[in-house]
Amino acid sequence: MSKKHPDKNTDFDKADGEEIEVEIKMPESDADGEEVDGDSTAEIEGEQLTEEAPKSLEEQLRLKEDQYLRLAAEFDNFRKRNARQFAQIIESSQADIYTELLTVLDNFRRALEADNGAADFESFRKGVELIYSQLNDFLKKNNVEPFDSVGKKFDPNVHEAMMTVQTDDHKEDTVVKEFEKGYKLRDRILRHARVSVAKPSDENQ
Protein backbone atom coordinates (compact mmCIF):
# COMPACT_ATOMS: atom_id res chain seq x y z
CA MET A 1 0.00 0.00 0.00
CA SER A 2 1.38 3.43 -0.89
CA LYS A 3 2.57 5.82 1.87
CA LYS A 4 0.74 9.05 2.32
CA HIS A 5 2.99 12.12 2.30
CA PRO A 6 2.05 15.09 4.45
CA ASP A 7 1.26 18.38 2.76
CA LYS A 8 4.27 20.73 2.61
CA ASN A 9 2.23 23.68 3.90
CA THR A 10 0.98 21.85 6.99
CA ASP A 11 2.68 22.56 10.35
CA PHE A 12 4.79 19.95 12.01
CA ASP A 13 3.16 18.49 15.05
CA LYS A 14 4.83 17.70 18.32
CA ALA A 15 4.36 14.36 19.86
CA ASP A 16 1.80 15.85 22.23
CA GLY A 17 -0.07 17.57 19.44
CA GLU A 18 1.23 21.21 19.94
CA GLU A 19 2.25 23.24 16.91
CA ILE A 20 5.93 24.17 16.39
CA GLU A 21 6.54 27.69 14.98
CA VAL A 22 9.78 28.14 13.09
CA GLU A 23 11.11 31.73 12.62
CA ILE A 24 13.80 32.20 10.05
CA LYS A 25 15.78 35.48 10.05
CA MET A 26 16.99 36.52 6.66
CA PRO A 27 20.36 38.32 6.59
CA GLU A 28 20.35 42.02 5.66
CA SER A 29 21.71 42.94 2.30
CA ASP A 30 23.38 46.12 1.08
CA ALA A 31 22.56 48.14 -2.02
CA ASP A 32 24.41 45.68 -4.23
CA GLY A 33 22.51 42.75 -2.85
CA GLU A 34 25.45 41.47 -0.82
CA GLU A 35 24.64 40.09 2.56
CA VAL A 36 25.84 42.30 5.37
CA ASP A 37 26.15 41.16 8.92
CA GLY A 38 24.88 43.78 11.42
CA ASP A 39 27.87 43.47 13.72
CA SER A 40 30.28 43.72 10.79
CA THR A 41 28.57 46.92 9.55
CA ALA A 42 28.86 48.60 12.93
CA GLU A 43 32.52 47.58 13.16
CA ILE A 44 33.33 48.97 9.70
CA GLU A 45 31.56 52.26 10.41
CA GLY A 46 33.42 52.58 13.70
CA GLU A 47 36.77 52.04 11.97
CA GLN A 48 35.92 54.66 9.34
CA LEU A 49 35.05 57.23 12.00
CA THR A 50 38.26 56.42 13.88
CA GLU A 51 40.33 56.92 10.72
CA GLU A 52 38.54 60.08 9.56
CA ALA A 53 38.59 61.88 12.92
CA PRO A 54 42.42 62.07 13.27
CA LYS A 55 42.73 63.17 9.64
CA SER A 56 40.24 65.95 10.23
CA LEU A 57 42.02 67.10 13.41
CA GLU A 58 45.42 67.03 11.70
CA GLU A 59 44.06 69.10 8.82
CA GLN A 60 42.58 71.66 11.23
CA LEU A 61 45.85 71.89 13.14
CA ARG A 62 47.79 72.36 9.91
CA LEU A 63 45.47 75.16 8.77
CA LYS A 64 45.70 76.88 12.15
CA GLU A 65 49.49 76.63 12.06
CA ASP A 66 49.59 78.13 8.55
CA GLN A 67 47.34 81.00 9.67
CA TYR A 68 49.55 81.64 12.69
CA LEU A 69 52.73 81.70 10.59
CA ARG A 70 51.19 84.12 8.09
CA LEU A 71 49.99 86.43 10.85
CA ALA A 72 53.40 86.31 12.54
CA ALA A 73 55.15 87.21 9.26
CA GLU A 74 52.72 90.05 8.54
CA PHE A 75 53.16 91.46 12.04
CA ASP A 76 56.95 91.29 11.77
CA ASN A 77 56.87 93.16 8.44
CA PHE A 78 54.48 95.74 9.93
CA ARG A 79 56.78 96.26 12.93
CA LYS A 80 59.89 96.69 10.76
CA ARG A 81 58.11 99.07 8.38
CA ASN A 82 56.88 101.24 11.25
CA ALA A 83 60.34 101.25 12.82
CA ARG A 84 61.90 102.47 9.55
CA GLN A 85 59.26 105.16 9.10
CA PHE A 86 59.70 106.34 12.69
CA ALA A 87 63.49 106.50 12.27
CA GLN A 88 63.08 108.53 9.06
CA ILE A 89 60.73 110.99 10.80
CA ILE A 90 63.16 111.45 13.69
CA GLU A 91 66.11 111.89 11.34
CA SER A 92 64.22 114.42 9.23
CA SER A 93 63.35 116.44 12.33
CA GLN A 94 66.96 116.32 13.46
CA ALA A 95 68.13 117.47 10.03
CA ASP A 96 66.04 120.65 10.25
CA ILE A 97 67.49 121.53 13.66
CA TYR A 98 71.06 120.84 12.64
CA THR A 99 70.73 122.88 9.45
CA GLU A 100 69.80 125.95 11.49
CA LEU A 101 72.68 125.35 13.88
CA LEU A 102 75.10 125.19 10.97
CA THR A 103 74.26 128.76 10.02
CA VAL A 104 75.16 129.89 13.53
CA LEU A 105 78.34 127.87 13.35
CA ASP A 106 79.27 129.57 10.08
CA ASN A 107 78.87 133.00 11.66
CA PHE A 108 81.13 132.07 14.53
CA ARG A 109 83.73 130.76 12.12
CA ARG A 110 83.66 134.01 10.16
CA ALA A 111 84.10 135.98 13.37
CA LEU A 112 87.11 133.86 14.27
CA GLU A 113 88.65 134.44 10.86
CA ALA A 114 88.25 138.23 11.17
CA ASP A 115 91.03 140.30 12.75
CA ASN A 116 90.13 143.94 13.37
CA GLY A 117 93.22 144.68 15.49
CA ALA A 118 91.15 145.81 18.49
CA ALA A 119 92.81 145.73 21.90
CA ASP A 120 90.15 143.45 23.36
CA PHE A 121 89.99 141.21 20.33
CA GLU A 122 91.92 138.38 22.02
CA SER A 123 89.38 137.98 24.80
CA PHE A 124 86.58 138.20 22.26
CA ARG A 125 88.27 135.55 20.16
CA LYS A 126 88.60 133.19 23.10
CA GLY A 127 84.90 133.53 23.86
CA VAL A 128 83.94 132.82 20.28
CA GLU A 129 86.33 129.87 20.14
CA LEU A 130 84.66 128.39 23.21
CA ILE A 131 81.19 128.67 21.66
CA TYR A 132 82.44 127.30 18.36
CA SER A 133 84.00 124.32 20.13
CA GLN A 134 80.83 123.66 22.12
CA LEU A 135 78.69 123.71 19.00
CA ASN A 136 81.04 121.34 17.22
CA ASP A 137 80.96 118.96 20.18
CA PHE A 138 77.17 119.10 20.22
CA LEU A 139 76.95 118.27 16.53
CA LYS A 140 79.51 115.47 16.77
CA LYS A 141 77.65 113.92 19.71
CA ASN A 142 74.54 113.84 17.51
CA ASN A 143 76.37 112.21 14.58
CA VAL A 144 76.75 115.43 12.57
CA GLU A 145 80.28 115.89 11.27
CA PRO A 146 81.98 117.94 8.54
CA PHE A 147 83.74 116.35 5.59
CA ASP A 148 86.78 117.64 3.73
CA SER A 149 86.48 118.77 0.12
CA VAL A 150 89.60 120.74 -0.85
CA GLY A 151 91.87 118.77 -3.16
CA LYS A 152 89.21 116.18 -3.93
CA LYS A 153 87.42 115.58 -7.20
CA PHE A 154 84.18 117.53 -7.54
CA ASP A 155 81.17 115.35 -6.77
CA PRO A 156 77.70 116.84 -7.34
CA ASN A 157 76.33 114.43 -4.75
CA VAL A 158 78.26 116.19 -1.98
CA HIS A 159 79.46 119.47 -3.52
CA GLU A 160 77.78 122.59 -4.82
CA ALA A 161 79.95 124.49 -7.31
CA MET A 162 79.77 128.23 -6.67
CA MET A 163 82.37 129.13 -9.28
CA THR A 164 85.15 127.74 -11.44
CA VAL A 165 88.78 128.78 -11.22
CA GLN A 166 91.20 128.66 -14.12
CA THR A 167 94.40 127.15 -12.80
CA ASP A 168 97.15 124.78 -13.79
CA ASP A 169 98.00 124.01 -10.15
CA HIS A 170 95.07 121.63 -9.77
CA LYS A 171 93.65 118.92 -11.96
CA GLU A 172 90.45 119.69 -13.81
CA ASP A 173 87.28 119.29 -11.69
CA THR A 174 89.26 119.40 -8.46
CA VAL A 175 87.86 121.38 -5.52
CA VAL A 176 90.12 124.40 -4.99
CA LYS A 177 88.41 126.18 -2.10
CA GLU A 178 85.56 125.74 0.38
CA PHE A 179 83.18 128.65 0.94
CA GLU A 180 81.05 126.59 3.31
CA LYS A 181 81.94 123.19 4.68
CA GLY A 182 79.75 120.22 3.91
CA TYR A 183 78.23 118.16 6.73
CA LYS A 184 76.90 114.63 7.07
CA LEU A 185 74.28 113.23 9.41
CA ARG A 186 75.61 109.70 9.77
CA ASP A 187 75.79 108.54 6.13
CA ARG A 188 73.35 111.11 4.83
CA ILE A 189 74.46 114.41 3.30
CA LEU A 190 73.06 117.08 5.58
CA ARG A 191 74.50 120.00 3.65
CA HIS A 192 76.47 120.15 0.42
CA ALA A 193 79.85 121.82 0.58
CA ARG A 194 79.91 125.08 -1.37
CA VAL A 195 83.14 125.13 -3.33
CA SER A 196 85.11 126.51 -6.25
CA VAL A 197 86.25 124.04 -8.89
CA ALA A 198 89.40 124.05 -11.01
CA LYS A 199 89.33 124.16 -14.77
CA PRO A 200 92.26 124.35 -17.18
CA SER A 201 93.59 127.76 -18.12
CA ASP A 202 92.87 129.08 -21.61
CA GLU A 203 96.40 128.21 -22.72
CA ASN A 204 95.95 124.53 -21.87
CA GLN A 205 92.43 124.12 -23.21
Domain boundaries, the chain: 37-142, 146-205
Interval 128-169: pLDDT, tens: 888 888 888 888 988 999 999 999 999 999 999 999 999 888
Note the pLDDT of residue 129.
85
Top-tier CATH class for 146-205: mainly beta
Q: Which residues pair with 159 in a beta bridge?
A: 193
Lowest-confidence pick of 12-16, 21-25, 117-121, 150-154 = 12-16
Top-tier CATH class for 37-142: alpha beta
Do residues 177 and 195 make contact, with C-beta atoms less than 8 angstroms apart?
Answer: yes
Note the pLDDT of residue 61.
86
Collapsed DSSP state (helix, strand, coil) of residue 193: strand
C-alpha to C-alpha distances, 55 to 45, 46, 62, 126, nearest whole angstrom = 16, 15, 10, 85
Note the pLDDT of residue 149.
96
Lowest-confidence pick of 20-29, 63-72, 138-147, 179-188 = 20-29
92, containing H or E segment:
helix 38-113
Q: Where are the beta strands (DSSP E) in the chain?
A: 144-147, 159-166, 175-180, 182-185, 188-191, 193-199
Lowest-confidence pick of 100-109, 174-183, 186-195 = 100-109
Count the Cβ atoms, other than its own, within 10 Å of residue 136: 16
Tell me: pLDDT of 21 over 80.
no
C-alpha to C-alpha distances, 61 to 70, 71, 72, 73, 177, nearest whole angstrom = 14, 15, 16, 18, 71
Interval 34-56: pLDDT, tens: 554 555 555 555 555 555 555 68
d(CA 173, CA 152): 9
